[in-house]
Structure 1
Amino acid sequence: MTTVADDTKTGTAGRRRRGHGRAGRGRRHGTIGSAGLYVATGVATLLFLVPFYLLVRNSLSTDAEITGEDWTFFPAHLRWGNIGELFDDPAVPFARSLWNSAVVGVLHTLGTLLVCSLAGYGLARIPYRHADKVFYGVLVTLMVPSAVTFVPSFVLVSSLGWVDSLRGLVVPGLFSGFTCFLFRQYFLGFPKELEEAARVDGLGHWGAYWRIVVPNSLNFFAAIATITFISGWNAFLWPLVIGQDPKAWTVQVALSSYMTNQTVNFHLIFMATAISILPLVFVFLFLQRWLVQGIAKTGVKG
């Protein structure tokens, strides 16, 4: 005859077996899920690397090897001489275009950070009656297509004599409504206690901004700087119109010169593209941690 104690022991043992079974199935499902995640990540990584492989492969090939029907993983003889041919081309001052893009990118980034951060800080922290109206006016500029302002901007720059100059390439793009919006959203969430302590020490709005806010917001500034530099480096249409002299070409304009109605220099296009993306790769790898943190901190507070 079974007793209550025996039934209790049997029920407990059964629950333990069922618990172990569920745990085992959970571990198996977790292992399968992890394996699937690794496989998906590996496939995505390979797909992401395919354009870079094609870029390197074609930049070290001849035009016949690039356009030929017989495809090889890498050409039998790597054409390292394509680098010398690229920089020795008298028709395209590629080295000068790299320098121009670097100067324009750095000046554009520094200027945008200064102008837009000051505007965003003023909208977020300096109280005055028409602050909301100014902010809504900034948002309205985001709805205006760039094609609408392109011709008036060119007429203004041309009347100032800034064609074929760094001023014409940099100054018109120093203010960005979207960047101003991001700074405002970030500063709305900045701790007010730090600024109040600065004012107790006798600092005004400028002193609090420069000595308190900026040093404690370097992650966000680095994120915006990364995005702005990449945007300035990749700009094409405005530098194409303003930089009419080859000495004022940026790297994107120089790239377009290898493709004309008569000829297409495939190996030079790929080599120039491979070299031109190296600064962007270095900037992104160096600042990617701050880029992710800064974008996460923009928020929608306020």
Structure 2
Amino acid sequence: MSTPAVPLRAARVAVRGLLIGVLTAVFLAPFYLMLRNALMDSRGLTAPEWTWWPSTPHFENFTALFEDPSVAMGPALGNSLLVAAVTAPLSTLLASAAGYALARIPVRGRGVVLGLVVATLMIPGSATFVPTFVVVGSMGGVNTLWGIVAPGLFNPFAVLLFRNFYLQFPTEIEDAGRLDGLGRFGLYRRIALPGSGAMLASLGALSFIDSWNSFLWPLVIGQDPSSWTAQIALSTFLTSQTINLPGLFAGAVVTITPLVVMFLVAQRYIVEGIASSGLKG
């Protein structure tokens, strides 16, 4: 009776391996196409014949990317890195503090505040875009990096995730902290915050990726080229007047590299953070 089970088990393993291989190929296909196109010239990109890989890779496309006087790609990458590096930790810490307050501090009106936080998730971004621009512009935030950063510091979805996480946080640990004389802020800073490392890492990584990929708000608020981010600089390679496909794909490879590294490093923490937030399926 056990003999037929061996071929059946082998067939399942083969099908599973085939499925994983197909899904891996589908996932890696955009990266392959991006790198292939970045190493081709304009004639090869627009040729009717398909080539799997350029016979003569044009690595000079990457050097030309940073030598182009019309597009300051280097400063734009620096702006994107600065914006993402500031937005990710600040927005995550603010969401953590707000989530802890909603979960642990028994004050009157806490439910109303929670309802308002949830309500902000139901408001489309297009409805708040113009008012946000008016407020930031009236404060002198146009053509400044802080004007790009400020609207992204409040993340209501992260607040809800942290609230759910802290609701499940062991109260016994906090009770021991109270016996040591810790107040609300001390309990948060010394016990709750260090205990939420997976959530901090996962939401910080997601915030970094979101800030790095942001396009519309930096485009509107950063009108001067000195405040352009990498995504805005990339858009200048494809306009109604000029089309620079090799530069566009080379820039895409350069700008996506930090995100790939970030995801590879933080993917385990992203899964752990979402699983511990109370929103797992």
CA distance in 1, matches of 2:95, 2:255: 27
CA distance in 2, matches of 1:32, 1:66: 42
Q: Work out which of the residue numbers 195, 202, 221 in structure 2 matches 1:242.
A: 221
Q: Quote how far apart the aligned CAs of 1:191 are.
A: 0.8
Q: Quote how far apart the aligned CAs of 1:72 are.
A: 1.4
Q: Work out which of the residue numbers 113, 134, 143 in structure 2 matches 1:164.
A: 143
Aligned amino acid, residue 66 of structure 2: F
1:227 maps to: 206
CA distance in 1, matches of 2:73, 2:99: 37
Unaligned stretches of 5+ in structure 1? 1-20
Q: Work out which of the residue numbers 56, 67, 73 in structure 1 matches 2:46.
A: 67
Q: Quote how far apart the aligned CAs of 1:100 are.
A: 0.4
1:126 maps to: 105
Aligned amino acid, residue 135 of structure 2: L
Q: Quote how far apart the aligned CAs of 1:262 are.
A: 1.7
CA distance in 2, matches of 1:212, 1:27: 52
1:47-79 CA-partner distances (Å, limit 9, x unpaired):
111111111110011011011012211111111
Q: Work out which of the residue numbers 71, 85, 90 in structure 1 matches 2:69.
A: 90
Note if 1:116 corresponds to 2:90: no
CA distance in 2, matches of 1:297, 1:27: 38
Q: Work out which of the residue numbers 175, 180, 186 in structure 1 matches 2:154.
A: 175
CA distance in 2, matches of 1:289, 1:44: 19
Note if 1:57 corresponds to 2:32: no
2:163 maps to: 184
Equivalent residue of 2:239, what SS?
A: coil
CA distance in 2, matches of 1:193, 1:119: 21
Aligned amino acid, residue 67 of structure 1: T
The 1:300/1:270 distance shift into structure 2, 3 A limit, reads closer
Q: Work out which of the residue numbers 263, 280, 284 in structure 1 matches 2:259.
A: 280
Q: Quote how far apart the aligned CAs of 1:194 are.
A: 0.9
1:201-250 CA-partner distances (Å, limit 9, x unpaired):
01111111111111121111100111110000000000000111111000
1:63-106 CA-partner distances (Å, limit 9, x unpaired):
11011012211111111111111001111100001000000001
Q: Quote how far apart the aligned CAs of 1:28 are.
A: 2.0
Q: Quote how far apart the aligned CAs of 1:157 are.
A: 0.7
Aligned amino acid, residue 93 of structure 1: A
CA distance in 2, matches of 1:129, 1:155: 33
Aligned amino acid, residue 258 of structure 1: F
Identity %, equivalent residues:
44
CA distance in 2, matches of 1:33, 1:121: 46
1:14 maps to: none
Which structure is larger by alpha-carbon Rg, 1 or 2?
1
1:154 maps to: 133
Note if 1:194 corresponds to 2:183: no
Q: Quote how far apart the aligned CAs of 1:200 are.
A: 0.8
Equivalent residue of 1:231, what SS?
A: helix
CA distance in 2, matches of 1:30, 1:221: 41
Q: Quote how far apart the aligned CAs of 1:26 are.
A: 2.3
Note if 1:103 corresponds to 2:82: yes
**Alignment size in residue pairs:** 280
Q: Work out which of the residue numbers 162, 165, 185 in structure 2 matches 1:206.
A: 185
TM norm structure 2: 0.97
Aligned amino acid, residue 44 of structure 1: L
Q: Quote how far apart the aligned CAs of 1:300 are.
A: 4.3
Give the superposed CA RMSD.
1.1
